[in-house]
Amino acid sequence: MRALVVDPAAPGSLRLGTVPEPRPERHQLLLDVRHISLNRGEVAFAGQRPAGTVHGYDAAGVVVRAAADGSGPAVGARVAAFGEAAWAQRMAVDTGAVAEVPEGVGLADAAALPMAGLTALRTLRSRPILGSRVLVTGAAGGVGRYAVQLAALGGAYVIASVGSAARGEGLAALGADEVVIGLDGVDRPVDLVLDTVGGAQLVAAWSLLAPGGGIQHIGWASGEPAVFPPHSLFSPGPAKTLASFGDTREVGPDLAVLLGFVASGRLSAEVDRRAGWADVADAAGALLDRRIAGKVVLDVEPSAAP
């Protein structure tokens, strides 16, 4: 079958290649992949994986073989999936990592949700947000645009931080109460920070936390070190926290929640660019250059039945 594989010599370290068919384990289904979604971190670090590896985690398509253990959707079901080796014509994926796509939701939109949507949803669940002040850094990206919408849906006062005025376009319509460049103008404490930037901005965000507040550290787009001044981590009163995030266990139920929000019109999939997967080099370059607001979805070349 055809797949997007790692090739350090290719633009973006990815190219179309031919690989063996996947062999599902008993708890896995076989998915005929129709669409995949690129995430900036995946693209940025693709070259660090072994050459020939089938890359990617986000996909949506149609089940062509149900799991042998009887779990999960039946043949013919439309599903969104999160798992390794997703950027291929067929994907073997755990049944606990898929969710059926509701009627009226396109598979291309469904493919955009898994990694970025799950990250936004699960980090926002780290503490109650109703009535709280939530700061989302890197808010123009895939995780950021979902986080803004979900935080507003949860009743938070949402501050969206971006790198430029142009990157902030459309965020107010998604639910941001304030859109700021960097952290300029954020002069009141915040209860929760979803940080995708790292570096000096992470240090500055820490100083903005209210007593008992927390930072969920998601990414490090700045590529810069974060240097905390001496004694700056001390805080009287309820403890502030800085937590990493990488929980991708049993994501199916949460993926179903996101799909339900899309079906009801309460969450936009925010697909900014859609193309065929032969255009992966251009799409990857646009992501790395921050010319994408939201998500990139690529249509997978149709394949013969396995």
- State residue 229's pLDDT score: 95
- Could you state, in order of their start, the residue ranges of all structural domains in the chain? 2-112+269-299, 117-244
- State residue 83's pLDDT score: 97
* pLDDT tens series, the chain, 306 aa: 999 999 999 988 999 999 999 999 999 999 999 999 999 999 999 988 999 999 999 999 999 999 999 999 999 999 999 999 999 999 999 999 999 999 999 999 999 999 999 999 999 999 999 999 999 999 999 999 999 999 999 999 999 999 999 999 999 999 999 999 999 999 999 999 999 999 999 999 999 999 999 999 999 999 999 999 999 999 899 999 999 988 888 999 999 999 999 999 999 999 999 999 999 999 999 999 999 999 999 999 987 655
- State residue 304's pLDDT score: 65
CB atoms within 10 A of CB 290: 16
| Same CATH fold assignment for domains 2-112+269-299 and 117-244 | no
CATH for 117-244? 3.40.50.720
Tokens of 145: 């645009």
Q: Which CATH class is domain 2-112+269-299?
A: alpha beta
Residues 6+ apart with CB under 8 A from 247: 122
pTM of the model: 0.95
